[in-house]
Structure 1
Amino acid sequence: MTADIAPLEAFAVPPGLDGSAGSNRAPFPAEGSEFRSDIEAIHAWIRVRGVNSEHTARAYRREAERLLLWAVVARGKAFSSLSVSDVDTYLNGFLADPQPAGRWIGRAKAERFDPAWRPFTGPLPVSSRETARKVLSALCAWLVKVRYLLANPFDALPRLQVARPEVDTHGRTLTHAQQRDAFALLFAYATGLRRAELARATLAALDRKGRRHARRCVDAQGQGKGREGPVRADASEADGRAARPAAADARRSADARLRPARTAAAGKHDHRPADDG
Structure 2
Amino acid sequence: MIQWDDAVVSAIARRRSVIMLGSGISRNSTNATGKRPATWVGFLNEACAQAGNPSTVLDLIQQRDYLTACEVIKNRLGNDVFVRLVQAEYQKPGYEAAEIHKYIYELDSSIVASPNFDLIYDTYASNASRGTIIKRDHTSNDLLNFVSGGDTRLLLKTHGNADAAHNLIFTRKDYAEARTRYRLFYDLLKSLVLTHTFIFLGCGVDDPDIRALFEDVQYAYGLMPAHYMTLPDGEVSNDILRVASEAMKIKFLTYSPENGHAELTESLLELVSLVQGRRDQLSKEQTW
Asked which structure has the greater RCO (Cα within 8 Å, sep 6+), the reply is: 2
Q: Rg larger in 1 or in 2? A: 1
Q: TM-score, normalised by structure 2?
A: 0.24
Q: TM-score, normalised by structure 1?
A: 0.24
